[in-house]
Structure 1
Amino acid sequence: MPTVRENIAYASQHFMLVYRGTLLRVARAVALLVLVAALLEVFVFNFNYFASAGYQTINLENRLDMESEDGTYALTSIDHVLEFSHLNTEIHNIKVDFAPDQPAQNVTLKIQFTDAAHLTYFDSTEYTVGVPPVDVSTMGERTQYINLQTAGLVENLRIEVVGDEVSYPILLDGIYLNAHRPFEFSLLRFGTAVGILLLGYAFRPGSAIYRIRIVENPRKSKVGIIFAVTVEVALLTSFLLFGSNLVGVATSSYNYGSWDGTSLVNTFEVGGDNAQQYAELARAMAEGRLYLEEEPPAWLQEMNDPYDKGARDELQKETGEKYLFDVAYYEGRYYVYFGVVPVLLFYLPFYLLTGANFPTAIGVLVMAIAFVLGATALLDRFARYHFRSVSLGVYLLLQIPTVACSGILYLAKFPTFYSLPIMCGLAFSVWGLYCWMRSRLSGHRCAWLFAGSLCMALVAGCRPQLLVLSLLAFPLFWRTYITERRLLTAAGAREFACLAAPYVLVAVGIMGYNYARFGSLTDFGANYNLTVNDMTKRGMNVGRLAPAFFAYFLQPPCMTGVFPFLQPAPFDTTYMGQTIKEVTFGGIFACLPILWVLAFSRRILGMRARQRFTRTIMGVIITLIVSGVVVALLDAELAGILQRYYADFSFMFLAAAVLLCFVVNEQVPPEGSTRQLMLTVFIVLVGVSVLYSTLLCLVPETGWYADVYPWAYQNILDTFLFWK
């Protein structure tokens, strides 16, 4: 009998015999792409190194008169302007050499000069734009080199520190003109270039992955899907952990300022008092309470209308006693109105085991990974059992935007307790739908139906808006249980009971939870929220729908010519009432071109109807589109227009678009120019959609990494702004 080692050796030899040629071709292509990325890094991304090699550096140290005792030069709140006259020289760049021994911060510099084209300092006017202010990091050498575009000889030079949020003194080691740029091989930039080139190579129209049918080649396709999902999960995890100020986990090398010095890993509170609601609720539950421990101030309990923010703020100023914001206040107690399932899933068990608060960001990460896995499995199920011609390439080309453009990246950007219930709702939804799909062809139908309905029902305890996805049960099960009358059989009745029972069980639990808190089975407590507006009087108003529809769906992105290009979208409305609005970055139909396929839904569904007798896919697509519109407008009416709410409905439209693309793929011949055209269109639509979603992750926002560590963020920006 052969040994394990012999079996492995035989399998390896057989594998190499079959796939040796393919592996060699792929290896050569990958090696070539890595070489191209290396050449780009050396000769393109480092072109400033070569351009500055012949400069004659001028040290302006002898012109600085702010020397301190340790040999550095100090800029203060009073004296923060450097001016150099009678230079009479060409200036290609300036190096502002900050002393290393000082607090890390971003410093904004305003630079002015006179040259052959300007006898006086010039600035922005009605018709021109002057030299823009430039951000420089005191802890980033690459940011300290500033290229100037001058005309002829420069006579005078002025450098001023501007901005209000500056920590003085700012220590300088010197100022240099025409400095030699150092050569820097950035692994981050090189790795990004390699990744983009590999993606372009893998998904080019002529790629072999478009010839691997996932039905006919299940083993190869599963390997490819697993590899792609592994990469996605790794990138998602890295991005979430990158925003370390919101993570709440510390080790000796990560968030080490909050490390306890002994534990391998310890948790700590982030985000302030308002961010600890779930943790406080877990502590209350452990003590047998459903309300928070903190006692509301007496003035709040004595108010006639405690939900009037203006009145609350006035009384808070008068008394000096603070109140908790964004919690439910009812009959003299604070409650958490967010869904209770995340508390039962993460916070309460963690508190009972450790006595510490569960780090919210880790919960967001866990459920984000669950969503990626569930969405991937769900699309795979549709592709394998409803579409026979889907290739690995087409599947991955459509799976990537389903994950990247669904809004979960923005939830990972801000992994707070606001994001967790949405992320939980999305994860439970995709796994519930997957279990329902598995039940259709499974020998253990009752178990899959029960598991699917349990997941879908738990959404009510996370993000109730997402319950509309439960309506997909109608197109998925109508033919089996109604048209074919299986519901009238004993087996069908048992299956329907398994389908309905979890909803009943979860509903009983949630209604009991609501009644125990607010004396009502259906009151989740959102109306009692101490937020920016009086939710008890918000009501429903049709005047809020048009601005919301435009903002959520049609608003074009606002862009500039500076990386990361995206800017907050402007917002105007004729609605003569209060509109709840946070920063958003454009409507999904304007920013995600992959959704443009929805405009052809009627024609594509007609193609499907002529091909198939059943109408399951048609019903699923129509339900997804209608549900997406309903959820978006409900969000606007009940809560407002916020960027994180895009995650409530983006997946619905993306899933519908993917299914429509699967239908189109079925109609196109497997070879020829038509298929090449289809693949090219898919690649362009997906590429632009994913690019938008990626740039959205890098836009600086209040509370994110860019706001907390602006100097570090500036280093990252200047890594990619290699031409500066």
Structure 2
Amino acid sequence: MLVRDYARANKAALVHIAKCIVVIVLAATMLEAFVFNFNFFSSAGYNTINLSSKLDLQETGTALEPEYRLTEVDHVIEFSNLNTEVRNLRLDFDFEQPAQALQVKIQFTDEAHHTYFDSTEYTVGVPTTIVSTFVGQSEYINLNTTGLVDNLRIEIVGDDVQYPILLSGVYVNAHHPFDFNTTRYLVTLGILALICVFRPKSSIYRCFIVERPRRSKVIIVATVVIEVYLMATFLLLGSNLVGVATPTYNYGSWDGVSIVNTFEVGGDNAQQYAELAKSMAKGQLYLEEEPPQWLQDMADPYDKGARDEAQKVTGEPYLFDVAYHDGHYYVYFGVVPVLLFYLPFFLVTGANFPTAIGVLAACIAFVLGCSALLDRFARYHFKRVSLGLYLLLQIPLVFCCGVLYLLKFPTFYSLPIMLGLAFSVWGLYFWMRGRTSASPCPWYLAGSLCMVLVAGCRPQLLAFSLLAFPLFWRLFITKRHLFTPRGAREFACLIAPYLVVAAGLMWYNWARFGSPTNFGANYNLTVNDMTKRGFSFGRLAPAFFAYFLQPPSASGVFPFIQPAPFDTTYMGQTIKEVTFGGILACLPILWILPFSKRILRMRIAQRSTRTIAGVILVLLSAGVLVALLDAQMAGILQRYYADFSFMFLAAAVLLAFIVNENLDQESVTRNLLMKVLIVLVALSVLYSLLVCFVPETGWFSDIYPWAYQEIIETAQFWT
């Protein structure tokens, strides 16, 4: 009855939604069938020529189904006197052979080139292409020739090739098969659905969160579920870093008995947390592995060059990127992930906890907490936030803050950062709940506990605790609530978790290194001597440029984003890994920040309290501080963007809320700003997603290049 009554009351809306769904499905189907498969239609009239009989290679197989062997000695195929048009080339590799991605160099002579041509100072020759023996679509290579082709040369190049390679045949002007790619179809459906939902005239912008709390909460929850599903899918894509095996996932590491089992990934260096859990189970705080005697005898064990020379002489390896102190190895990363995941898992199962699952769990907690926190601000500090504006800003807040890169590499490096972010957003949410609750003490206790546990994950993220000043200054200081019995109790609830957890962490540090404030990072056996790194003003300018201002580097090949170049005038050692541009240049949603002063004036003139203005100022100041501290303490690394990006994005979201609050809903200015905001969000999310698919050492593209090629073929449908 309830469903029937609801349908009758909302018949027009439901009919409109049904029509939109039909249009989206039809549009996606048409795009997949006719646009993304245009190679099928363009090659339908080709006159296919089988060149297999002209192959001068060793033959295997049968007379009816011959196969040809490409070997380390004989891996060049050449055809002469073809005298025909060549529109495309098909290299038909045997699908049953071991999968690999082959670099294929193609050269030809035609009416514009009477000799084979290659790249010169002023021209670019035929680029080397990748053909996967596992991906059929990659076997079809479109060629741009001029007139009749006379000679054709095909060579397998590259050093990392597993010979022999079995080739079933070579064809020119082959008919490209029709390929209805389900993944691409679903992605297209999703993009079209987003365009429909967030178009400027969508009714979602007329559904206000305060006025329709139930409907908005249902849609927000549904959005979060979809986001979590997409993030989990992306993390599980990089199966080489997951460490979980089932009969259908990571089958090669499945034990053949369990429904699911864990296994070690990432090498010895990646097991630090697991090894610490084993040590803690035995009542000790250092790792069980004994450092080699030569390391213990060194005058300066933190000099990497000296360590490497000693290792060459003795042949005894040492553990890299662990803290070394007083003859023992220690883990300098925050201890909270061990206590939360690894130690309980080891005590129950006797196995190592899979780090990637911890990263995923922390990511889910972050998305939930981030959405709840944003909802809290939208409902209780602003009156005119629509569901459309909320979702439009929630998406970049979640996807553009560096979390996706942590999911790309779900290692023990990413786990403390991800968990620190999760604790931070939940801590802020609990604080916000306490500010409006009749019984705030439990909320304050929970919030402060979350906030201080950050110190045991990623100490840099303690900068979020500075938000306590704008959130509680007016209540406890200006109104002198602190000096009342109730206020004193509430303040004690805010402070107590900090004191207790800080005491525990200080004891932990003292027990290991003899200092309550030393977390051990300066004892790290890494690429530079952390005990002598110190503070240098010369590092600040390059770091600020790389973290904030570096423009993205792009190419015309998927995933289009490339590692950004890095040059510096700092005449010392700079710790630098691959990065992809500064957040202010690459995330257009942050282009609202230069207008912060003018927007904050609007808020201050509108409200007698300055809580939101204070929050924004602290977020921006803390973000710059954390980024520069990261550069001073450790260097310039892509995963460190997650330490501060959320702060800037959160500030941008609050600024957008303020602007929205001060504009008439039907004004031309607001409509224009919404259109601009949609474009800025779309570009920011697109950049963040593309970075996820840039091939990098150790990721899916490096370990399974033959499977990564399928992603490329899905995106570059025109090749």
Same fold (TM over 0.5): yes
Query: 1:354 pairs with 342, 349, 354, which one?
Result: 349
1:480 matched to 2:472? The reply is: no
Amino acid at match of 1:515: W
Q: What are the residue-to-residue correspondences of 1:259-408 with 2, within 5 Å? A: 259-408=254-403
**Aligned equivalents of 2:269 and 2:67: distance in 1?**
43
**Aligned equivalents of 1:482 and 1:200: distance in 2?**
47
1:425 matched to 2:420? The reply is: yes
Amino acid at match of 2:276: L
**Aligned equivalents of 1:176 and 1:572: distance in 2?**
47
Amino acid at match of 1:668: L
Report the CA distance between 1:77 and its aligned residue.
1.3
- Give the match for residue 224 of structure 1: 219
Q: What are the residue-to-residue correspondences of 1:49-60 with 2, within 5 Å? A: 49-60=40-51
Query: 1:148 pairs with 143, 147, 167, which one?
Result: 143
**Aligned equivalents of 1:600 and 1:21: distance in 2?**
41
Q: 1:72 is paired with a residue of what secondary structure?
A: strand
Query: 2:21 pairs with 11, 14, 30, which one?
Result: 30
- Give the match for residue 431 of structure 2: 436
**Aligned equivalents of 1:708 and 1:352: distance in 2?**
32
- Give the match for residue 98 of structure 2: 103
Report the CA distance between 1:291 and its aligned residue.
0.4
Report the more deviating stretch, 59-68 or 689-698. 59-68
**Aligned equivalents of 2:624 and 2:493: distance in 1?**
30
Amino acid at match of 1:646: Y
- Give the match for residue 121 of structure 2: 126
1:568 matched to 2:532? The reply is: no
Which runs of 5 or more structure 2 residues have no equivalent in the other structure? none
Amino acid at match of 1:415: P
Amino acid at match of 1:147: N
Amino acid at match of 1:487: L
**Aligned equivalents of 1:719 and 1:596: distance in 2?**
32
Contact 2:401 2:646 in 1 (8 A): yes
Amino acid at match of 1:45: F
1:61 matched to 2:61? The reply is: no
1:21 matched to 2:16? The reply is: no
**Aligned equivalents of 1:79 and 1:318: distance in 2?**
41
Amino acid at match of 1:264: I
Q: 1:108 is paired with a residue of what secondary structure?
A: strand
Q: 2:519 is paired with a residue of what secondary structure?
A: coil
Q: What are the residue-to-residue correspondences of 1:310-709 with 2, within 5 Å? A: 310-709=305-704
- Give the match for residue 6 of structure 1: none
1:177 matched to 2:172? The reply is: yes
Report the more deviating stretch, 108-117 or 673-682. 673-682
Report the CA distance between 1:17 and its aligned residue.
1.4
Amino acid at match of 2:44: A
**Aligned equivalents of 2:612 and 2:606: distance in 1?**
12
Contact 2:577 2:637 in 1 (8 A): yes
- Give the match for residue 7 of structure 1: none
Report the CA distance between 1:586 and its aligned residue.
0.1
Report the CA distance between 1:101 and its aligned residue.
2.7
**Aligned equivalents of 2:160 and 2:657: distance in 1?**
53
**Aligned equivalents of 1:141 and 1:404: distance in 2?**
32
**Aligned equivalents of 1:129 and 1:65: distance in 2?**
29
- Give the match for residue 90 of structure 1: 85
Report the more deviating stretch, 73-82 or 194-203. 73-82
Report the CA distance between 1:79 and its aligned residue.
1.3
1:714 matched to 2:709? The reply is: yes
**Aligned equivalents of 1:301 and 1:174: distance in 2?**
61
**Aligned equivalents of 2:362 and 2:86: distance in 1?**
54
Report the CA distance between 1:267 and its aligned residue.
0.3
Query: 1:247 pairs with 239, 242, 246, which one?
Result: 242
**Aligned equivalents of 1:306 and 1:20: distance in 2?**
74
C-alpha deviations, 1:552-607, integer Å up to 9, x for none?
00000000011110000000000000000000000000000000100000000001
**Aligned equivalents of 1:65 and 1:464: distance in 2?**
64
**Aligned equivalents of 2:493 and 2:165: distance in 1?**
69
For normalisation by structure 2, the TM-score amounts to 0.99
Amino acid at match of 1:214: I
1:204 matched to 2:195? The reply is: no
Amino acid at match of 2:642: A
Report the CA distance between 1:39 and its aligned residue.
0.4
**Aligned equivalents of 1:33 and 1:334: distance in 2?**
58
Amino acid at match of 2:711: I
Report the CA distance between 1:170 and its aligned residue.
1.2
Amino acid at match of 1:379: L
Instruction: Give the ranges of 4+ consecutive aligned residues of structure 1 lying more than 3 Å apart after TM superposition.
Output: none
C-alpha deviations, 1:654-680, integer Å up to 9, x for none?
000000000000011011322211110
- Give the match for residue 46 of structure 1: 37
C-alpha deviations, 1:213-246, integer Å up to 9, x for none?
1001101111111111111011011001111000
**Aligned equivalents of 2:108 and 2:482: distance in 1?**
83
Which runs of 5 or more structure 1 residues have no equivalent in the other structure? 1-9
Report the more deviating stretch, 714-723 or 535-544. 714-723
Amino acid at match of 1:62: S
Report the CA distance between 1:66 and its aligned residue.
1.2
C-alpha deviations, 1:251-296, integer Å up to 9, x for none?
0000010000010000000000000000000000001110000000
C-alpha deviations, 1:299-354, integer Å up to 9, x for none?
00000000000010111111111000000000110000000000000000000000
Amino acid at match of 1:584: T
Report the more deviating stretch, 496-505 or 119-128. 119-128
Amino acid at match of 2:264: E
Report the more deviating stretch, 64-73 or 583-592. 64-73
Amino acid at match of 1:710: P
**Aligned equivalents of 1:483 and 1:443: distance in 2?**
20
Report the CA distance between 1:21 and its aligned residue.
1.6
Amino acid at match of 1:315: A
**Aligned equivalents of 2:463 and 2:106: distance in 1?**
56
C-alpha deviations, 1:107-132, integer Å up to 9, x for none?
00110000011111111111111110
Q: 2:60 is paired with a residue of what secondary structure?
A: coil
- Give the match for residue 12 of structure 1: 3
Q: 1:185 is paired with a residue of what secondary structure?
A: coil
Amino acid at match of 1:160: E
- Give the match for residue 5 of structure 1: none
**Aligned equivalents of 1:486 and 1:17: distance in 2?**
52
Contact 2:78 2:151 in 1 (8 A): yes
**Aligned equivalents of 2:145 and 2:319: distance in 1?**
55
Q: 2:89 is paired with a residue of what secondary structure?
A: strand
**Aligned equivalents of 2:606 and 2:667: distance in 1?**
21
**Aligned equivalents of 2:439 and 2:274: distance in 1?**
39
Contact 2:208 2:385 in 1 (8 A): yes
Amino acid at match of 1:662: F
Amino acid at match of 1:17: R
**Aligned equivalents of 1:55 and 1:11: distance in 2?**
60
Amino acid at match of 2:387: L
Report the CA distance between 1:69 and its aligned residue.
3.1
Amino acid at match of 2:505: I
**Aligned equivalents of 1:252 and 1:21: distance in 2?**
48
C-alpha deviations, 1:52-82, integer Å up to 9, x for none?
1111111111111213332311111111111
For normalisation by structure 1, the TM-score amounts to 0.98
